[in-house]
Amino acid sequence: MTATDLPQKLQEILRPKLRFLAPSAEVPMDEDLGKLGLDSMASIDLLMEIEQQFGVQIPDDLMTADTFATGSHLRAVIEKLI
Amino acid sequence: MPSNTSPNPLLTPPELDGLESAWCISAYVREGASRWPESIYLRDVTQELTYAETWRRICSIAAWLRRQGIEHKDRVVMVAENRIETVLLFFAVAQIGAISVILHPQIKPEGLRRILSQTEPKLGLLESATAWLREEFGDTPLVWVGCENGDCHFADLIAEEEPPGVPYPGLEVDPAFLVFTSGSTGTPRGVILTHDNVRFVSAAIQARLPYRAEDRVAIFLPLSFDYGLYQVFYAAIRGASIFIGRPEHAGPELLRILAAQEISVLPGVPTLFGGLIKMQRYRPVPLPKMRIITSTGDHLPQSYIASLRELFPQALVYPMYGLTECKRVSILLPEELEAKPESVGRPLDGTEVFAVDEDDKRLPPGEIGELCIRGPHLALGYWRAPEETAKRYPVLDGTRVLRSGDFGSVDVDGFLYIHGRSDFLIKHKGHRLSPAEVEEEACLIPGIVAAGCVKDEANDLLCLFVSVSESSLGEAQIIQALSFKLEPAKVPNRVFLLPELPKTGNQKIDRKALRAVL
């Protein structure tokens, strides 16, 4: 995994979890993920998938609602870790 | 096992400090402030308030409300994320005899408009997350919390000096608040809960699952949902503290919050527990010493109960059954779980539940029919909806009952079993929704001719069947369009297109036939 693959990969992970988003649409990175259909249960699946796909472990202090609030927040956290 | 006739000591209130007014729900905090002034009552991630300070603030806000001309039976509508200020305003509104309406922060403009036109509030509460709904309030004065919007800020409501006492002007049988919930039609209905409804049911619930003064209760359910809201009463009865969390905290960080806040009582819905179990298996953390876990809103699977007991060996797990229209129907005690694993427990003491057949005749034990409920916890009815009130709260055999809309049975020992829901209500992800509401919204989408909403219980999916005149209309598009109009829990997981929907004899959508298609 390189930093350049990150945006694409994150899009791929996020899209199927956002049930209010049209399947072919680009995930708007600054939109509230809750509004796009991510509930707390889905955010647990999202966490697992991100950690597996990017080979990272999100530390406890970043495992907050804020990290999972938008695509950009997630991206910033992952960038720090890879 | 306690007998159904034993007197409940919690129903006898402590001395009312010589106050002459009738009992009202804010007396919970007033009494708490005299019994445990320095104990923490309300906390969130940034602040905590003692019982004494909470009561001082409530009195201060009550005095402010009076100065604004808010009177007995006026409505105050609050739309905010779970926060301490909502609880303070809620109790202050009760103290002056006005009626609180706490709404889900993700409510959509159309839904809010309908509720505002029904309730005609004298005051609204908004915050930055809900500021976009401002226009719906029109000329109604607003208080803003946690942001710089508007000209009246929540902090201005709380005076520095000792506030004057405001006596409660009403009676115990007057409305304290409305809880909006899906009715049998598409229009959400406000269930009218009175002060004495709350007093009776809170005491009866606390007799069955006693909280303790040292308990730390957490809520992650919205305060607009009575299950979340009532925790503030139970905590105050016992002098416990309550952590005001938010639904978005119930994801990956839930376990960490439970540990950091040393939570000992966790009320939740099955999906919340499902997430918690999954997360702990994935990334175990040291867990707090949980004492009580309660679950309602949906069937709590046996596998979840087993996992929760494994994770929290000291915890007592209580499956329960309830309806906003009477708050709580039954609670299953942990010691009863083994003998009656599929039951939702016995009715609260001082209440009765029985099944009736299609002619409203009482059924003998073990036979399945619509469950009907009797007791002092039955709400007054639905706000400004006399017809629907008469339908759900009919008089049977000379006594007023609540029709639950659920099919079930009562065994010879008095334990309740839920066998299925009627066609007009669906429980999904712990929320109750009306298929009619989803169908009405769907039919407003151009190109949709007819819609029928049912739940796929086996896969826990909300399904919508539609017939369309526009062949380009697809599943994803319909789900997205509905997400703009309905709160997230009401948006279907799957949409199926059919050439024509099955109809019943009187030309209604045949939901039973749709369920058979699943």
Taking 80 as the threshold, does the pLDDT of residue B246 lie above it? yes
Query: What count of residues does chain B have?
Result: 518
Residue of chain B minimizing CA distance to A52: B282
Contact B269, B295 (CB under 8 A): yes
Average pLDDT over residues B17-21: 57
Could you tell me the residue ranges of all domains in chain B?
Answer: 46-170, 435-517
Would you state the pLDDT for residue B301?
Answer: 87
Taking contacts as CB-CB distances below 8 angstroms, the residues of chain B near A43 are 251-252
Provide the shortest C-alpha distance from residue A24 to chain B (in Å): 10
Q: What is the sign of the dihedral through the CA atoms of B9, B15, B20 and B26? A: negative
Q: Residue B86, SS3?
A: helix
User: pTM of the full predicted structure?
Assistant: 0.89
Collapsed DSSP state (helix, strand, coil) of residue B126? strand
Record: contact B252-A63, CB cut-off 8 A: yes
CA angle B291, B219, A41 (to 5 degrees): 100
Residue B70: HSE in the Cβ half-sphere, 13 Å Cα cutoff: 31
Q: Does residue B185 carry a pLDDT above 80?
A: no
What would the two tokens of residue B185 be?
Answer: 């039609």
Selected residues 53-72 of chain A with any CB under 8 Å from a CB in chain B: 58, 60, 63-65, 68-69
Write the single-letter amino acid at B394: P
**B45 to chain A, closest Cα gap in Å:** 12
Picking from B431, B160, B114, B396, the residue whose alpha carbon sits closest to that of residue B297 is B431
Retrieve residue B414's tokens.
């008095």
Q: Is residue B479 less than 8 Å (CB to CB) from chain A?
A: yes
Query: Which tens digits make up the pLDDT trace of B25-36?
Result: 999 999 999 999
SS3 B268: strand
Interchain contact A76–B (C-beta under 8 A): no
pLDDT at B422: 66
User: Does the beta carbon of A16 lie under 8 angstroms from any beta carbon of chain B?
Assistant: no
Q: Which residues of chain A are modeled with pLDDT < 50?
A: none
**Mean pLDDT to the nearest integer, B378-388:** 96
What is the mean predicted confidence (pLDDT) over B441-448?
90
Considering only the top CATH level, what class is B435-517? Answer: alpha beta
Identify the closest residue of chain B to A38 by CA–CA distance: B488
**What is the reported pLDDT for B489?**
86
Quote the mean pLDDT of chain B: 91
Instruction: Tell me: pLDDT of B6 over 50.
Output: no
Is the CB of B253 inside 8 Å of chain A's CB atoms? yes
**Span of A34-38, B181-185, B196-200 with lowest mean pLDDT:** B181-185
Q: Which residues in chain B are contacts of A58 at CB distance < 8 A?
A: 252
| Chain B residues inside the 8 Å CB shell of A19 | 479, 483, 491, 493
Tell which CATH classification among 1.10.1200.10, 3.30.470.10, 3.40.1080.10, 1.10.3470.10 matches the domain A6-21+29-81: 1.10.1200.10
The answer on pLDDT for B109 being more than 70 is: yes
**B463 has which bridge partners?**
B454, B494
Architecture of domain B46-170: 3-Layer(aba) Sandwich (3.40)
Lowest-confidence pick of B114-123, B418-427, B463-472: B418-427
The ipTM of this complex is 0.91
User: What percentage of chain B has pLDDT greater than the value 90?
Assistant: 74
pLDDT for res B1: 40
pLDDT value at B328 more than 90 = yes
Record: contact B282-A65, CB cut-off 8 A: no
| pLDDT tens per residue, range B140-173 | 999 999 887 778 999 999 988 888 888 999 999 9
